[in-house]
Structure 1
Amino acid sequence: MKKFITVFSISLFLLFSINTVTAIAQPKTYSQGFYTMNDLGLNENTLYKVRNNEPYVEGLLIIVDSDKKIQQLIRIAPNSTENTLIPLKNDYKFIIYNNVRLNFS
């Protein structure tokens, strides 16, 4: 009986001490400015999606390569759905224009 109480107590202790934590990647939010791949924490050759979370402000995202050629230009409507970006390279720079909050995921 003493062994049962000990095992039961340890089992209850372990049951209540183990916390399940749900790990969900948080989208990265950025506002107006100039950014590099490292600033945004994005990886090369990965497809990303960008979304505008501002309810009333339209945004503009310009992706420029090292030769200063525009690779992609996206006009993002307020509360937009996700827009898919081109596969990115390490030398790309990002220009976010207007007072928007863009999420990269």
Structure 2
Amino acid sequence: MIFSIVGWILRIISDLLNIYSFLIVIYTLLTWIPRLLVTKVGRVLGKIVEPYLEIFERFIPPIAGISFAPVVALLVIYFVNNYVLYWIANIIRYVLIR
């Protein structure tokens, strides 16, 4: 029973990370057309995505006017989604089996 609850929670976290990755990609595409950023969708996406992207923009300056912060942000989400959640599931499984 506890395994199914933990698995369910980890699956929800994984799905939320996938959705957030998708939002980052959409926001990044919207930045290519500045008029789209001032639309309601652009502003809402900005409020959701920009705080996370700003963390990486502090450390990764734009090169030739192109920001690579979204790429690094997506790589971090990928790492968390595919490795950290897996490690957490294995640790919980190991602790509960003993």
TM-score by length of 2: 0.25
Choose between structure 1 and 2 for higher RCO, CA contacts under 8 A separated by at least 6 residues: 1
TM-score by length of 1: 0.24
Give the structure with the larger strand fraction: 1
